């Protein structure tokens, strides 16, 4: 991957939990639109919750997915951020590790569906913006439409069991809360 000034983005556990959401966000990152980051704590959180809620899934398969995620991107797993935690004030103190991770890797954005847990005023102190994945994907689409469409097509090609049409894929976007992104992609032509 060529080194350029891509936006560094921390992906919260809630957006990595869903395979669909994880796939579209990482497909976008594979296009070089942004640089994804997370930590072992974030990974452990989504993995633990997914295994608890979906006993039909095999931990070994999910660990293989995590391995692929870590191989695909340059240094995505952020470490050594604990010293930042005491400086962060959040409604849920258990979320401070996400902001500390973002501070450590100099992320500009935390992508999360739990916006209420990441007050913009507190994050602004660190130069970080909390953003819902729908808004984040729409911004990426506006910045690099061609690459965003490629990421969507990659996701569509990967869905083989069962295969899906673009319309079915966009319906899944809507079910995942990516309403505006679904509209943008629906209006786009390849």
pLDDT in tens, 18-34: 999 999 999 999 999 99
Per-residue pLDDT tens digits for 93-113: 999 999 999 999 999 999 999
Q: Is the pTM of this model over 0.85?
A: yes
The closest alpha carbon to 169, from 14, 17, 27, belongs to 27
21 burial level (CB within 10 Å; 0-12, 13-18, 19+): buried
CB 94 within 8 A of CB 56: no
């Amino acid at each position: 991957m060529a080194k350029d000034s891509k936006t560094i983005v921390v992906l919260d556990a809630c957006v990595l939990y869903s395979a669909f959401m994880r796939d579209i966000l990482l497909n976008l990152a594979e296009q070089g639109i942004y640089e994804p980051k997370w930590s072992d704590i974030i990974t452990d959180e989504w993995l633990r919750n997914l295994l608890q809620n979906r006993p039909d899934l095999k931990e070994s398969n999910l660990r293989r997915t995590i391995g692929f995620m870590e191989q695909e991107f340059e240094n995505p797993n952020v470490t050594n951020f604990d010293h930042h935690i005491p400086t962060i004030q959040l409604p849920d103190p258990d979320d401070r590790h996400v902001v500390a991770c973002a501070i450590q890797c100099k992320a500009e954005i935390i992508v999360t569906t739990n916006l209420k847990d990441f007050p913009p005023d507190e994050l602004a102190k660190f130069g970080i913006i909390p953003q819902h994945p729908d808004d984040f994907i729409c911004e990426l689409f506006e910045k690099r439409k061609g690459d965003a469409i490629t990421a969507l097509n990659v996701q569509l090609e990967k869905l083989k069991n069962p295969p899906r049409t673009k319309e079915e894929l966009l319906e899944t976007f809507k079910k995942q809360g990516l309403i505006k992104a679904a509209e943008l992609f629906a209006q786009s032509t390849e």
